[in-house]
Structure 1
C-alpha cells in the first residue's frame, strides 16, 4: 500500500487486493478527503490477472454479511458503501459472488442487537462460519459483543464470527488501536485479509437498580440480568467513571454529534470550567482494583477526577490513553487521577495527544489490572455524577450502587468474536 502526491501532497492511497478465487487481483486507488475525519473517495478499481507464480491459499468459505450503521459518526456509512466498498467487493467476489452477500442497513439503535439475536448468533451456534463487514463505530462492535455474549453457545459447534471493521463512527477507538502506527486506509485492505484474532472483552456487573440511559439521556431501560438479578454489559474498549463518563454522556446528543470527535473537547470545556466559576466536580466514592489472584485493593483516595479501565491503546486516532497496550493483547490498564483545576486536567489530557505522555505524570496512576470496582456508598446525591460509561453506553447507578468490571481471561472458553486484521 502506498500514498502518492500530486498537486495536493499525500492525497492518494493505492493498494492491491486479490480475488477470493485467486484468479485475479484488483488495484484500488482512493483519494483522501480533505477532512481526515471523513472517508476517502474511490477513484478507480482496475482488475488484472494474478501472478500465478505467487502462492495462494483459497480462503475458507464463509457466509458474508455487510452491516451498514446508517447513523454512525457523520452518517456517511451508506454513501461509503455504495461509492467505495461495494465496487471493491465486486472486484474481490466477482459479479456472481457478490450476489451472495447479505446487506443490512440499520434502522434503529437496536438493529444490530436484533440481527445478532435473530440471524447471526443462531448461525454461529450451528457451526456456520460467518464473516461480517461492519461499517460502523465502536457502538456496532459493542452491540455484537453484547448480543453474542448474552447467549449460551454450544461449545461443540459455536464458531466465532469474523468481523471486518470499517471505521465509520466518531472516535473508532478499537479500529485505531488495532491499526496504531500503520497508515490508515479505513480498513479497506482487510476486505481481502483472512487472518483473524480473538477480540478480548470484559464484563461489567451492576447493582440491581442500575439503568441504561437512552434517547440522549431522557429515557432509561433495564439492563440484561444475570442469575442474581444484577445488570450485565459486555465491552471491548473502555469502562469509566468520572470525567470521561460525563463527557461521553453529556456529548451524546444530536447537536453535539454534528461536531464529530470535537464534541468531546466541547463537553470537556463545559465540565472543567463551570459557568458559576466553581472548580470541576470531585467524584466521590470507593474505587478498588483487582490484580493477580482474586484480591480487591481499595485506592486510598476518596475523591476522584478520572477513573478509566481500558482494553485498547487509543480512544481516538491521536489520543493515546494507554501506550503500554498492544493490539488485541487482552490486557486491561487503569488510568486514574484525583480532583484538580480545569487547567491542570487539560494539561494532563493534552499529554495523551502527545503519544500518551500523560502516564509519565507523577499525578497519574497507570497500571495493569484485571478488574475495577466502584462503590458509591451514598456519597453522590445527584445522579449525573453516578454515570458509568461502558464502550459509549451510559449506565446510571442508584445512590448505594456499585459496578464491578473484570476482563475476560484467555482460556475461559472461546471468544465470542474474531477481528480480521490486515497484513498490509
Structure 2
C-alpha cells in the first residue's frame, strides 16, 4: 500500500468501517492486487487519524500504519511503517471513534507556530534494540512529509551521539527557551531514559517566572517503555503517532529521590561513576516511573549492557534467571536494611515513618505506573498519570517463589492478591541500607542505577515539581 495510493474519486462510496471486534476499515483492493476477499483492511488500532486532504479541498485522508514483516527477523527495523489513504467521505463512525482533531495538541501547535523552529525530534540511536533511526525514516518522517512539514523550517532533528545528548539539548535549547516563555514540543524516539534526562535537567536548573513547560511526545523505543504503556501511548498500534496528532497535554507526575552523601550514578555498564545533582547539599534524582531496591534494581542494572540490550525486553528475564538461580548454586540474595513508609502527606511532612517489620527483603518498588513493560502489570490500581505513588514489596523468598510471584504480574497484576506481597498507596518511602557489598546497595531510578554508600539511605517523596506535559490520547 502506498501513500495517497488511491485518488478520492475512486473511494467516495467504497470505504467502510465495521465496529465489531477491534474495528476494521475496508475498501476494494486495487487493480493488480491479489486478495481472496477482494478487500484491503486496516484494523482500527492501526489508524492514526482522519485529516483533511492537503491535495483535495473537500477530501480527507486516513492516516494509518502497516506491519513491517521484515522487523521479525531484524529487531533494528521499524515494526510498522506509515501509510495514507485518500477519500472524500470517511465513514462518520470512524471519525466519531477517534479523538477530535480540532482540540488536539497538534492542531493548536500548527495554528500558533512561529517563524522560530521549536519542534525538536530526538532520535535516540542507542535505545532498546536500535530501532529509532528506522522508525524515524519509515514512520515519523513520512508523516511529517505528508503534512508538508520541512526539516529546519518546521522542525529540527537531533540524533543522539552519546548518553548525554538529551541532557545537552535540554540544557542548551529547551531550558533557555522555556525560561523565555517560548512554547516548545519534543518528540522523543526513545525509552524512559530519554524522558528521565529531560526531567532531571529541567528540575535541576533555575526556572524563571516566565517558564513555559515543554510538551513531550514519547514514541516508545526503549526496552520496557513503562511510561508510554502506562500513559496510554501504546493503547493502539501506531507507536505514538495517534497521540502526536490527536493527543492532548497532560501533566507528568514526578517523584524526588534524595540520597545520603556519596551516592553516585553507575554508567558505562557500571565501569564508571558520575555525581548526582545536589539540591540543598543532598544528592538528588527525579523520576516519573519507578524507584526500586532489591530484585528489580539488580536485574535492571545487571542487564544494562550492550550485549543484553540486543535481546530487548527479554534482557530482564535473562538477568533475573542469574539473580534468582545463581550459577554457583547459592541461594538468591537476602537484602538487608530498614524499609519505612509514609502513607499520607501529614505523615510525610511530620516525619512519622512506619517501619515495615521484616528481617530481610527481596523486592521493594515505588511507582506511578501501571505497567513496567507491555503485559507486566506491576500496579493494577494505577491509572494513567494519576499522580498516586504506589508501593509493591515482599520479603526474601526462594528463587522459585519469586518467579511465581512476579509471573502473576503478567496475568493482569494478580501478584498483588498474593498474601506474600504488600501493595499500597504511599506518599513516601525510605530505605536505610545495612549491606557491606555495594552490589546490594544499588537503587534503580527510572532505569538508571545509583549506588549508595555503606550505611547510607534513599528517601523517595511523591511530588517533584511540574516541569513538562506529555501528549497522549
Tell me if TM exceeds 0.5: yes
Aligned to 2:297: 245
Q: Is the 8 A contact 1:68 1:134 kept in 2?
A: yes
| In 2, Cα distance between equivalents of 1:20 and 1:143 | 37
Query: Map of 1:20-419 to 2, 5 A cutoff?
Result: 25-33=60-68, 39-42=78-81, 44-46=83-85, 56=102, 58-60=107-109, 61-62=112-113, 63-92=118-147, 94-95=148-149, 99-155=153-209, 157-179=210-232, 182-193=235-246, 195-228=248-281, 230-292=282-344, 293=346, 294=348, 295-376=352-433, 379-408=434-463, 415-419=466-470
Greater C-alpha radius of gyration: 2
- Is the 2:185–2:214 Cα contact (8 Å) retained in structure 1? yes
Deviation digits for residues 271-309 of structure 1, max 9, x if unmatched? 101122221100000011111112211111131000000
Unaligned runs of 5+ in 2: 1-21, 27-34
Shift of 1:18: 3.0
For the aligned residues, what is the CA RMSD?
2.8
Structure 1: 5+ residue stretches without partners: none
Distance in 2, Cα, partners of 1:20 & 1:391: 41
CA 1:242–1:325: 2 relative to 1, 3 Å: same
Bigger share in helix: 2
The number of residue pairs the alignment matches comes to 412
- Taking the aligned partners of 2:269 and 2:194, their CA distance within structure 1 comes to 17
Residues 140-179 of structure 1: per-residue CA shift (max 9 Å, x gap): 0000110111112123x11111111101111100001112
Equivalent residues of 1:19, 1:91 under 8 A apart: no
Distance 1:20 1:286 in 2: 61
The separation in 2 between residues aligned to 1:25 and 1:224, in whole angstroms, is: 50
Give the Å deviation of 1:184.
Answer: 3.1
Give 1:195 deviation, angstroms.
Answer: 1.0
Q: Is the 8 A contact 1:136 1:167 kept in 2?
A: yes
**2:64–2:84 contact (8 Å) kept in structure 1:** yes
Deviations 1:188-243 (Å, cap 9, x if unpaired)? 11221351100000010111111110000011111111222x21100000000000
Q: Distance in 2 between matches of 1:116 and 1:267?
A: 32
Relative distance call for 1:17 and 1:416 in structure 2 (3 A) is farther
Aligned equivalents of 1:418, 1:133: Cα separation in 2: 12
